[in-house]
Amino acid sequence: MDIQRLLPFRKKAPRVAILRLQGAIGMSRPGSPGLSDAGLAPLITRAFSKGKPTAVALLINSPGGSPVQSALIAGRIRRLAEEKNIPVHAFVEDVAASGGYWLACAADDIWTDPTSVVGSIGVISSGFGLDQFIDKHGIERRVHTAGGSKSFMDPFREQKPEDIARLTKLLDDIHLSFKDHVTARRGDKLATDRDLFTGDIWTGRQALAENTGLIDGIAHAVPKLKELYGDKVQFTVHTQKKSLFRRFGAQLGSNLGAQVAGTVLDAAQERALWARYGL
């Protein structure tokens, strides 16, 4: 029997939707554990709609990844928050760095553990130079293009100064978008006596003690949300479901070898991202 329906004048307990954002951003192949806008869209929509939540809390644990996917996910969260007039709170677990911090800035406030890692407001492009390796082994690289820039930053050829300049220009432009997002969301909270956009990182305790303005305080999700919305607050958790590949170690499909290879590659890329922060 629905007691609430029989007592229409009884005030309902506030409900907070918990949206877990775990993993590297942009790793969106089937079976991969990462975060993408397409993969998260239904989850985000449910978090803002199901049960008419009083607020949405983001539980973030991400070392970053694709700047485009970071922007798309954060943009979707902001659109729904503004359309439905729902406050959003971010709680950082191990790390919200680079794209992970981009996601955290989609919230109205950011809370961390003392030992959480935040920041890394920068852009990186990494790879390998294999030109000397193929020369040493007598391997000839054959590339034919229509368009002078199609072999841009070819790892099997010696770097060209003009390619490095072009890449730097691209990275600077992406970095500008990242800085604009953080500045727009954090506003006057950000420290103005130093450059916070160098790619540096801080623990939660450091970010607070140094008055960076990158976070609002030290707090864990449940006690902070009870402080904000009362001890009777109810929680609804929304999290990505594991694929069949991740559950059973295999994936159905006609191109199993390519799918497995892609998943292994994604796992290696994600492992490298986490390793930057000692995780």
One DSSP character per residue, 169-191 reads HHHHHHHHHHHHHHHHHHGGGS-
pLDDT of residue 161: 78
CATH of the domain at 30: 3.90.226.10
pLDDT of residue 147: 63
| Residue 232 clears pLDDT 70, i.e. is over it | yes
| Residue 245 clears pLDDT 90, i.e. is over it | no
Provide the domain count of the chain.
1
In a domain, 127, yes or no: no
> pLDDT-derived band of residue 9, with 50, 70 and 90 as boundaries?
low
For 87, half-sphere exposure in the C-beta direction (CA atoms, 13 angstrom radius) is 12
Give exposure, 259-273, as e/b (b: 16+ Cβ within 10 Å): bbebbeebbeebeeb
Domain containing 226: what range? 13-121+177-275
* Other residues' Cβ atoms within 10 Å of the Cβ of residue 236: 15
For residues 162-168, average pLDDT: 76
| Residue 183 clears pLDDT 80, i.e. is over it | yes
> pLDDT-derived band of residue 51, with 50, 70 and 90 as boundaries?
confident
Classified as helix, coil or strand, 41 is helix
pLDDT in tens, 99-129: 999 999 999 999 999 999 999 998 776 666 6
Helix (H) or strand (E) run with residue 71 in it: helix 67-84
In a domain, 49, yes or no: yes
In a domain, 170, yes or no: no
In a domain, 241, yes or no: yes
For residues 168-191, average pLDDT: 91
The encoded tokens of residue 81 equal: 């928050």
Question: Is the model more confident about 153 or about 78?
Answer: 78
In a domain, 71, yes or no: yes
The encoded tokens of residue 35 equal: 């975060």
Helix (H) or strand (E) run with residue 3 in it: helix 3-6
- Active site residues per annotation: 98, 150
Q: Are 116 and 204 contacting, i.e. CB atoms less than 8 angstroms apart?
A: yes
Classified as helix, coil or strand, 127 is coil
In a domain, 40, yes or no: yes
Q: Are 37 and 250 contacting, i.e. CB atoms less than 8 angstroms apart?
A: no
Q: Sign of torsion, CA 203 208 211 214?
A: positive
User: How many angstroms separate the CA atoms of 74 and 112, rounded?
Assistant: 18
Q: Are 229 and 53 contacting, i.e. CB atoms less than 8 angstroms apart?
A: no
pLDDT of residue 71: 96
> pLDDT-derived band of residue 162, with 50, 70 and 90 as boundaries?
confident
In a domain, 7, yes or no: no
User: How many angstroms separate the CA atoms of 155 and 151, rounded?
Assistant: 9
| Residue 279 clears pLDDT 70, i.e. is over it | no
In a domain, 156, yes or no: no
Q: What percent of the chain has pLDDT over 90?
A: 57
Q: What percent of the chain has pLDDT over 70?
A: 69
| Residue 156 clears pLDDT 70, i.e. is over it | no
Please state the pTM of the whole predicted model. 0.80
pLDDT of residue 227: 97
pLDDT of residue 105: 97
pLDDT of residue 241: 73
